[in-house]
Amino acid sequence: WVISALLILLVSFPLITGSRTVPLPVTLPEESSRILSTLDALPNGAPLLMIFDYDPALAGEMEAAAAPLVDRVLVLRNPRVTVLSTSPTGAALAEHFFEKTQARHNYQSGQNYINLGYLPGGTIGILSFAESPRKAMPVMVGDVSAWDTTPVQDVDRFADYAAILLITDQSETARAWVEQTAMHREGRPMLVVSSAQAAPMIQPYLY
């Protein structure tokens, strides 16, 4: 009973008094500051590649982490978004993400964004897309090529994207995208939103 009473007291005391034993950070981490400044510097209406590479089991965590950033860039820069995934479930998770967390922006498929779907081949598929996006993903939307739609009509090379935003829960996936696209980005920023478990393994790629 004494131990139970002590535990209840320790848990309830901060709730009642509003005190915190560990203060909240007063500044953003360096990587967060970089990603915000990069997103804010994007040209208005520029093409943006968003890669949804996470499992459905971690959708809650990944949506909570990515939604504020995506909301910010959609409000400030109104980009033309290309959705892509190397996971078979990624395309559906991307649609769910836009419907659940970004509904207020009223982004319309074929007008404001295009979902290219599943990119097969793993690392080889990523390299193939970096070398020639149109050849790697010859997707049709009805009777029209996806590459003739407004979001990607001026995208011929990987470097035509103003930035790449990768949302992933796997460090291996982040490493593959960073390494396989390095020669084709031509200085375009690659931004990564990762799960808590993958972040330490991705941290060395921050530069």
What is the value of pTM for the model shown?
0.84
CA distance 83 to 70: 13
70 contacts 35 by C-beta, under 8 angstroms: no
Strand partners, 163: 48
pLDDT value, residue 89: 94
Nearest 5°: the CA angle 125, 154, 84 is 30
Over range 47-58, report the average pLDDT.
95
Q: How far is CA 48 from the centre of its chain?
A: 10
Name the burial class of residue 172, with classes exposed (0-12), middle (13-18) and buried (19+) by CB atoms within 10 angstroms of its CB.
middle
pLDDT value, residue 32: 78
129 contacts 84 by C-beta, under 8 angstroms: yes
Question: pLDDT tens for residues 146-175?
Answer: 999 999 999 999 999 999 999 999 999 999
CA distance 134 to 68: 30
Question: pLDDT tens for residues 109-133?
Answer: 889 999 999 999 999 999 999 999 9
Cβ density class 127-152: b for 16+ within 10 Å, e for less: bbbbeebeebbebeeeeeebbebebb
